[in-house]
Homo-oligomer: A and B are copies of this chain.
Amino acid sequence: MNIFFNALHAPIGAHSSFTLGCLGKNGGLGLEQGGPANENVYVGLEAREGVVYEALPFYAGAEDEASRYDHTKRQAEKTQQILTSFAHADITREFALGTDRWSAGDLKFTIYSLAEGVPDPDNAAAADMKRLLCPAVIAELTIDNTECQRDRRAFFGYGSGRSGDAYNIVEGKGGMRGFAKGQETGIFSDSKSVVPALGFGIGNLLNEKHAFNYNFHLGGTGLMFCHVPAGKKVTFPFAICFYRGGIVTTGMPCSYYYQHYYKSIGDVAQKALKDAAWFKSRAKVADRLLGKKSLNEDQRWMMAHAIRSYYGSTQLLEHKKKPVWVVNEGEYRMMNTFDLTVDQLFFEMKMNPWTVRNELDFFTSRYSYTDKLHFRGGENVYPGGISFTHDMGVRNHFTKPGFSAYELTGLTGCFSHMTHEQLVNWILCAAVYSKGSGDKRWVKQTLPIFKKCLRSMLNRDNPKKSARNGVMALDSSRTGEGAEITTYDSLDESLGQARNNVYIAVKGWAAYLAMEGIFEKHGMVREAEVARDQAQRAAATIASHLTASGYIPAIMGEDFDSRIIPAIEGLVFPWVLGQKQVLREKGPYGNMITALKTHFRTVLQQGVCLYDDGGWKLSSTADNSWLSKIYLCQFVARKVLGIDNPATRKDADAAHRNWLLNDENLRFAWSDQMSSGVAKGSKYYPRGVTSILWLEE
């Protein structure tokens, strides 16, 4: 297996990441980036015989040396240049959720990450918040010089060239020293044997004879030089820090929540280094999170990768003293994209349910709207109802109330509205939060919104009660003369069109059931009945479309005969909501369940919804597959439908891991949207945490 893939090492809620692992100048310290920072990262050690330095291959020029030179030739080259890469074959990597360790020669480099619940700011102790939100990652460089009779120098640093604010040396209390790029990113240590140095480039720095000149500030490269005595083994601690002060958003001015506790990147470094032991111990706890025996290695690897990517997109902000939890959308950096929220839901419910409430409340208060509706080709004359925007903004801009950054009018494809899907998503998230959090007060307060949602769902089915079939049939006036789409926005109609889509229909069925449960619990008998009635209509409609060939067409009742896996996706919600009875083939919705099971068995075939490599193809008519959704559907297939076999587990997992290790994908860590195993969109993405469901198996 290729070990040279980028992985994120991200503080929680800081929308930043130390990304490392892909050969060449493809990693670095990224603050608010939609991809790797593309910096040179230098982790290296003086050779035992002196003269030259060997480094991990994470800088420009290091990526192809292994193929260009054999070991002898490389030794020869060493006489020409002061820095050379360790032979790639001599490098090993141990990769887990909390720990990522590189070993080469006498050097070990370990980076520690957290996967930890964020306490609810309304109830948390300030000290806990301060520590957990510290925008830093702890790393250690261990040099084993026991076999060498010479003092040696090791180093850790990075360079991105000269732009923006200057690289600068920072000194603090307790011997803390380091360097930062402006106020934004930096590397610090509190070891007395570590000295920061700035220069034009790695060559200048390694060749520099005068320590005075480490103070040169015109360049775009910084190193932390580590002194290792002859015959000793030494571990140097580092804090890799990120910071953005002041107001960071437009539209609605917010600061990072961590600004409560840290006034500068130096403050961050001081705290991280002081609490380094805690960070390390919690990283080991994170490793154990994926220790479950039933997981195979491919699953474990993908989960670690996905969770790391999720954290890089998280951003805990503050507006008028209130926390605002934002998950940015990977390379696109849209903020709290609702059709991601609903998938990340399972992870957030496990780690920090309050963030789900925070997102939902914000959707309700600022990002909801009321529309009218039209039948295909008709006028927008029918009453609509409440729905929610696709997102809350993009790249640190909160869009104006009621409008997303993404949704346009007059379209039928990408960038159209997702009105119905986001309505369904709100209901499902709210129901899962209600169930999972036990937050009764919130549910009670929120009942009026649930009622509005029910009305809105009904209107989108049909203005006439008698004509309703439980499935969306009208498009929002927000689309003008256009039509609504789904989260699969760049797929063909099979998953791209919302109206009459079986994927949306099953999610809608789940939403009706979720509402039924809520209404029932609160004695709202009439509403519960309406919701159940709609669920029944939906189930009947869906089941009725099962063809003789054993599948349900993606678009029901229109002339589009595509087969899709996500028909089964929505079944996850009753399962999570504990409505196990509705999932039984002999239960109240047995016809639909059986139809979906039949459908799934029919489509999960090579040439239909399986690639040749065993990877899942979400639609029979499109070469465009979302890994996060595959993970979710794998869970549904195995746990809900009971179809647990190599095709739904190990063959698929192996193929999907291979996709992520495709050369073209290595830079982007975990990516979602794949065409024949190559990420063509949704790169560097947070949504893969749907895989957290695998822990429930």
Contacts and interface: CB of A to CB of B under 8 A. Distances in A.
A183 B332 contact: no
A294 interface: no
Contact of A410 (B213, B245, B393, B395): B213
Interface size class of A (residues with CB under 8 A): 35 or more
Copies in the complex: 2
B246 A394 contact: no
A217 B394 contact: yes
A540 B298 CA distance: 85
A210 B478 CA distance: 12
Contact of A216 (B182, B216, B247, B405): B405
A480 interface: yes
Contacts of A165: 32, 250, 395-397
Contact of A396 (B166, B213, B393, B400): B166
Nearest to A251: B168
Nearest to A200: B415
Contact of A409 (B162, B213, B400): B213
Interface in A408-422: 408-410, 415
A237 B405 CA distance: 28
A265 to B, nearest CB: 9
Contacts of A247: 183, 245-246, 264
A61 to B, nearest CB: 25
A210 B417 CA distance: 14
A165 B393 CA distance: 11
A384 to B, nearest CB: 16
A403 B198 CA distance: 14
Contacts of A253: 264
A424 interface: no
A209 interface: yes
Q: Which of A218, A250, A333 has the most CB of B within 10 A?
A: A250
Interface in A207-227: 209-210, 212-213, 215-218
Contacts of A396: 165-166, 182
Contact of A168 (B182, B183, B250, B334): B250
A406 interface: yes
Contacts of A246: 245-247
Q: Which of A166, A180, A247, A253 has the most B CB atoms < 10 Å from its CB? A: A166
Given A183-B247, A218-B405, A245-B247, A168 B397 contact: yes
Given A165-B250, A180-B250, A408-B212, A393 B480 contact: no
A142 to B, nearest CB: 31
Nearest to A411: B213
Given A393-B166, A395-B165, A395-B166, A406 B218 contact: yes
Given A165-B396, A213-B409, 15 more contacts: A32-B164, A166-B405, A180-B250, A182-B250, A210-B410, A212-B409, A216-B406, A218-B332, A218-B334, A218-B405, A245-B246, A245-B247, A246-B246, A246-B247, A253-B264
21 contacts: A32-B164, A162-B395, A164-B395, A166-B393, A166-B395, A166-B397, A168-B250, A169-B400, A182-B397, A209-B410, A210-B408, A210-B409, A210-B480, A212-B480, A215-B403, A216-B406, A217-B393, A217-B406, A218-B332, A218-B394, A247-B264
Shortest 9 CB-CB contacts between residues of A and residues of B: A246-B246, A217-B405, A166-B395, A166-B397, A168-B397, A212-B409, A213-B408, A165-B396, A168-B250
